[in-house]
Amino acid sequence: FLKPIERINALMDMYPKGMAGFKRACELLDTEPDVSDDPMAVDVRRLRGDIEFRNVTFGYEGHTKVLHHVDLQVRAGEKIAIVGPSGAGKSTLCSLIPRFYEIEAGELLIDGLDIRRMTQRSLRSQIGFVQQDVFLFHGTIRENIAYGRLDASEADILESARHAHLEAFLEALPEGLETVIGERGLKLSGGQRQRLAIARMFLKNPPILILDEATSALDTETEQIIQRSLEELSRSRTTLIIAHRLATIRHADRIVVVTEDGISEEGSHDELLARRGVYARLHEAQFGG
Ligand code: ATP
């Protein structure tokens, strides 16, 4: 007789917390999204991946401008590294491509079409993000890799895991792909999380890739494996690498330097060193004279 009363007591404690959470969820659902689809927006099929910023200006709401009159062209399949001081706007520049924010002025075109004329869903399906914070949910490794392409076959998932050098890791797990990870599941190391994110991208196979290079410390061996997988992943895709360390970007086709004034320099590693400008100074700061 006492047990149910104790339970009711516990429920009475939980009720206000639950209601507060419910109200917050309702508020969130009521909020209008910042970016909405134009009624005439079209679903784009597989894009080639030519990206063009034409005189783009952008600032976060209530903040000063971050990007002023930016012009940048990235050819399909080209690999560019974006470098610059912290806070200059490297991540902001990349977050405009999937249209996470609305630009204030100018145009952003992919394959010659203004991204505002594409449905966000179809636009984002063409873009792969590999970020420092890998989003994993409570579920199996299989579900986490296939997130974004739920119709993937077993063979495709295994192939992606192989490209991301996850094979040995999976073999060591008694339940392999069916191992539950994330909250309340197996905790993965930073390197394993990154490789899982890379496997996801191999499976998604987007024509455009945005890599936010990890700053978190990984051991050298893991780092080399990840670098190799990323190089393989970026092959024949338009790739923008937000680079925090200059050592890893020498193989980019082009380096774009973003500063508070916008894009201040562009060129190869050697060209930019010879200019003795911002890039040369960043390089000196990281590697000495
Ligand atoms: P880092 O190398 O440190 O990652 P970054 O060059 O990528 O920096 P951004 O993250 O693009 O720079 O930030 C550019 C500016 O915009 C900064 O002044 C930052 O404080 C501001 N900023 C970034 N995100 C937001 C946001 N969601 N809301 C308001 N301001 C923001």
- Concatenated DSSP letters of 135-185: ---SEEHHHHHHTT-TT--HHHHHHHHHHTT-HHHHHTSTTGGG-EESTTS
Residue 260 confidence class, pLDDT cut points 50, 70, 90: confident
pLDDT at residue 32 is higher than 70: no
Atom 28 of ligand 1, residue of closest alpha carbon: 60
CA distance 126 to 210: 11
At 238 the pLDDT is: 97
**Rounded Cα–Cα distance for residues 138 and 46 (Å):** 31
Token pair, residue 230, equals 């990323």
**Which has the higher per-residue pLDDT, 188 or 16?**
188
Q: What is the pLDDT of residue 227?
A: 85
What pLDDT sits at residue 29?
A: 61
Q: Among 16-25, 87-96, 176-185, whose mean pLDDT is lowest?
A: 16-25
Q: Looking at 14-18, 175-179, 225-229, which range is the least confident one?
A: 14-18
For all residues of the chain together, what is the average pLDDT? 88
Ligand 1 pocket, CB under 6 A: 60, 63, 66, 84, 86-92
Residue nearest to atom 4 of ligand 1 (CA): 86
Asked whether the ipTM of the predicted complex exceeds the cut of 0.85, the reply is yes
- The stretches of the chain forming alpha helices (DSSP H) are 2-30, 90-95, 120-124, 141-146, 154-163, 167-171, 190-204, 220-234, 269-275, 278-287
- pLDDT score of 150: 82
CA of 43 to the centre of ligand 1 (A): 30
Q: Which helix (H) or strand (E) holds 68?
A: strand 65-74
Residue minimizing CA distance to atom 21 of ligand 1: 87
pLDDT in tens, 171-211: 999 999 999 997 777 888 888 998 999 999 999 999 999 99
pLDDT given at position 201: 94
Residue 209: its pLDDT value, please? 96
Contact 97, 123 (CB under 8 A): no
CA dist 22 → 11, 17, 18, 27, 30 (Å): 15, 9, 6, 9, 12
HSE, side-chain direction, 13 A CA sphere, residue 133: 1
Nearest CA to ligand 1 atom 18: 87
Q: Is the pLDDT of residue 252 over 70?
A: yes
d(CA 51, CA 114): 10
- Tell me the HSE value of 148 on the side-chain side, using a 13 A CA sphere: 24
pLDDT value of position 160:
95
Quickly tell me which residue has 């062209």 as its tokens: 73
* Phi, psi (rounded to 5 degrees) for 193: -60, -45
Best residue among 61, 90, 240, 245 to mutate for probing ligand 1's pocket (most ligand atoms within 8 Å of CB) is 90
Pairing of strands 208-212, 65-74: unpaired
pLDDT value at residue 121: 94
In this prediction, residue 289 carries a pLDDT of 58
Whole-number pLDDT of residue 9 = 75
Residue 274: per-residue pLDDT: 94
User: Separation of 86 CA from ligand 1 center, angstroms?
Assistant: 8
- pLDDT tens for each residue of 46-91: 999 999 999 999 999 888 889 999 999 999 999 999 999 888 999 9
Closest Cα to atom 20 of ligand 1 = 87
- Centre of ligand 1 to C-alpha 85, Å, is 11
Q: Please compute the mean of the pLDDT values over residues 213-233 and round it to a whole number.
A: 80
Percent of the chain with pLDDT over 70: 91
Q: Report which listed range, 103-117, 182-196, 272-286, is most confident.
A: 103-117
pLDDT tens column, 127-153: 998 887 888 889 999 999 998 788 899
What's the pLDDT score for residue 288? 75
So what's the pLDDT on residue 191? 86
Q: Residue range 99-108: average pLDDT?
A: 96
